[in-house]
């Protein structure tokens, strides 16, 4: 692969500008409406950049005129080869500007970084895709297999107005696709001078966003009261939050733990991984979450006046399930909250696990090593979810591979949905080279 590959002449140079432009289009997804600011503007921007390079993309809408995305199929040189889906989402989580050291939607370039909401989740990948596909358009380069490009709305609120809608209403877009590549993987973890790990996402936990409801007797806040909905709810929420879920380690996580233990020189006891997780810093919180089901309270809602005991109280729980242990999650929640609490599922989505020992993953690893000789690709599971859940329903094997080389001292995982999100300029240029190598060889 390295003998025949030549870098695209302008892709590395323009990826930063593409990213800053995308960050400056505020696509905050608040998750409460079918309309989200900025998605149509971002879709139009991506489509126009593709048209400049000679492509003919489609700007589509889903559940509303402003819920928009972009579709393009790049024909490969081998019509018989199965197609590859390359996808990124255009929306971002909201940012509270007062908490940031720089304006989150200014797209500033400073100290070797591009700053702003979406810099790592995931407008960096959107910009890399645009840079590579524009480069193909300008040079006439074509991949071996068809590459389906999708820029999508609504990933940050469960994909109901984006990937899931497309899967249900535009299945022709996925004709012939057998594998998909999106977030979250291909980033670097520097272990020592002669080793950098690059986790490739081959699995993700399922989603169970549930809402608990307690009911009781209304009354005056000054009186004795033994039927308080808030009390019952809080006790149920506490039981859920304090529950020690048992370890449930899948094949992906087992391999990842073994690779991490070897890299860090830690003797691994899968039943007691605390020392290994401690060595991983922030990443340890993610890895630990992939080893068991989790249920975290995130919202409480009750009452309307200080001296009135309400009849109802509500709590939202963010549940995430390990592949194969969905039934255990449901049964445990039911037992923990008790008979007096209603459990309503607001968002439910599947868990995924794709094979790691494939030719496509081998090509990802080769592309990384070609640009970083001390790179080692390893499989891992993410505790969150992505648009891959929708695509997997077609039997597509889904991977997270948005390559980004990070400075060794930068806490990558704190960037996701955090403050001062930023991506290194050299890392973005590295990502463009790796992505282009991989796609052309694939």
Q: What's the pLDDT score for residue 2?
A: 44
Q: What's the pLDDT score for residue 34?
A: 53
The pair of three-digit structure tokens given for residue 18, joined into one six-digit string: 């593409």
- The phi, psi pair for 112, rounded to 5°, reads 80, 10
Which alpha helices (H) appear in 120-171, and where do they start and end? 123-139, 163-169
Helix (H) or strand (E) holding 389: helix 388-391
The pair of three-digit structure tokens given for residue 379, joined into one six-digit string: 């499989």
Q: State pTM to two decimals.
A: 0.92
Q: How far apart are CA 308 and CA 292, in angstroms?
A: 40
Q: What's the pLDDT score for residue 32?
A: 67
With beta carbons less than 8 A apart as the criterion, state whether 205 and 386 touch.
no
Q: How far apart are CA 249 and CA 287, in angstroms?
A: 11
Q: What's the pLDDT score for residue 180?
A: 98
Q: What's the pLDDT score for residue 432?
A: 98
With beta carbons less than 8 A apart as the criterion, state whether 214 and 340 touch.
yes
Phi-psi region of 256 (alpha: psi -120 to 50; beta: other; left: phi over 0): alpha
- The phi, psi pair for 363, rounded to 5°, reads -70, -35
Q: How far apart are CA 331 and CA 339, in angstroms?
A: 12
**Structural domains present in the chain:** 11-202+351-441 (3.40.630.10), 208-349 (3.30.70.360)
All residue ranges of the chain with pLDDT < 70 are: 1-3, 32-35, 270
pLDDT digits (tens, 9 = 90+) for 302-341: 999 999 999 999 999 999 999 999 999 999 999 999 999 9
Q: How far apart are CA 211 and CA 203, in angstroms?
A: 26
Q: What's the pLDDT score for residue 271?
A: 73
Question: Which is nearest to 302 in space by CA: 387, 183, 215?
Answer: 215
């Amino acid at each position: 692969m390295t003998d025949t590959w030549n870098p695209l002449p302008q892709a590395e140079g323009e990826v930063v500008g593409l990213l800053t432009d995308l960050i400056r289009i505020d696509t905050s997804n608040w998750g409460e409406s079918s309309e989200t600011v900025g998605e149509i503007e971002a879709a139009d921007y991506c489509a126009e950049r593709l048209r400049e390079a000679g492509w003919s993309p489609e700007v589509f809408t889903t559940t509303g005129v402003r819920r928009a995305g972009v579709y393009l199929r790049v024909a490969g040189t081998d019509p018989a080869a199965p197609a590859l889906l390359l996808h990124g989402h255009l929306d971002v989580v909201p940012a509270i500007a007062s908490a940031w050291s720089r304006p989150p939607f200014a797209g500033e370039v400073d100290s070797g970084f591009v700053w702003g909401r979406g810099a790592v989740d995931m407008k960096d990948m959107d910009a890399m895709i645009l840079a590579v596909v524009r480069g193909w358009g300008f040079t006439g380069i074509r991949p071996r297999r068809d590459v389906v490009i999708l820029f999508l709305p609504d990933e940050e609120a469960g994909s109901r107005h984006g990937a899931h809608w497309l899967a249900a209403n535009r299945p022709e877009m996925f004709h012939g696709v057998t594998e998909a590549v999106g977030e979250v993987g291909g980033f670097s973890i520097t272990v020592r001078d002669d080793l950098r790990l690059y986790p490739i996402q081959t699995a993700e936990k399922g989603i169970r966003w549930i809402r608990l409801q307690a009911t009781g007797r209304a009354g005056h806040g000054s009186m004795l009261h033994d039927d308080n909905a808030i009390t019952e709810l809080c006790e149920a929420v506490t039981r859920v939050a304090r529950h020690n879920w048992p370890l449930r380690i899948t094949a992906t996580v087992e391999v990842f733990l073994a690779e991490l233990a070897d890299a860090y020189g830690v003797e691994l006891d899968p039943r007691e991984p605390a020392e290994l997780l401690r060595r991983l810093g922030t990443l340890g919180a993610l890895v630990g979450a992939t080893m068991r089901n989790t249920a975290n309270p995130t919202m409480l809602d009750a009452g309307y006046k200080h001296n009135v005991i309400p009849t109802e109280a509500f709590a939202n729980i963010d549940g995430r399930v390990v592949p194969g242990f969905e039934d255990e999650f449901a049964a445990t929640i039911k037992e923990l909250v008790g008979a007096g609490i209603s459990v309503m599922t607001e968002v439910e989505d599947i868990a995924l696990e794709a094979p790691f020992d494939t030719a496509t993953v081998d090509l990802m690893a080769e592309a990384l090593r070609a640009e970083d000789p001390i790179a080692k690709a390893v499989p891992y599971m993410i505790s969150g979810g992505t648009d891959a859940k929708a695509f997997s329903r077609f039997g597509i094997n889904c991977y997270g591979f948005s390559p980004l080389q990070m400075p060794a001292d930068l806490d990558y995982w704190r960037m996701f949905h955090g403050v001062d999100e930023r991506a290194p300029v050299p890392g973005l240029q590295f990502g463009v080279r790796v992505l282009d190598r991989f796609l052309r060889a694939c």
